[in-house]
Amino acid sequence: MDIRHPRPLPKLTRALHHNAPGRQSMVVRGLPHRHSGLLSRKKNSGHVALVYGADRTWAIPGETVIFTAWIVNDSASYLKDVKLVPRSFTNEGMEVLRYTAEPLQRDLEINVLAPGQSVMRTFSYLVTDSDHLHRGSLVSAMQVRATCRGQLISDEHDALVSLSGTGQAWPFEPSPGQHVSR
């Protein structure tokens, strides 16, 4: 019993490559390389990088911590509508903190960032006794968003500052003649 099944793939490939240059007797297997519009990635869609950190690794009450954010266009394309977005700022007790000083809202939005160009923004915070009651760390989270060739791109980064010790249990003795308020 000889049952023959239709072979649509060879017929389809012959039909697709019928007018192709080269040898007509050669059959190429597979379909031509095509991408769906939704799945294709745009070439040179750009990349924005956020470098974010604090000027110190640990802090005690009364010290000012300076957080610095560098927004870097790490691509060969122009970035538009670049925005630095403060995501959260908390201590170990999950208390929502406010920066002592921060850029104005208009300074957090950059119209255009050229290829290789970067901008810097700073935020500062005065460490309190309340922060040290919880010990642990201060956590400041930032995000940068931009548009490149019609695509939304972003990057996020956290800055951590350790809060070792409290005002009463600080391990260093005051120097002679120095007054310590408790």
Return the domain boundaries, the chain: 48-160
Task: For 36-64, give the DSSP string.
Answer: -TTTPPPTT---EEEEEEES-SB--TTPE
SS3 5: coil
Which of 56-60, 77-81, 97-101, 176-180 is the least confident region? 176-180
**Model confidence at 135, in pLDDT bands (50, 70, 90)?**
confident
Pick the CATH number of 48-160 from 1.10.390.10, 2.102.10.10, 2.60.40.1530, 2.40.50.140: 2.60.40.1530
pLDDT for residue 125 is more than 70: yes
- pLDDT score for 3: 55
Burial of residue 105 (number of CB atoms within 10 Å: 0-12, 13-18, 19+)? exposed
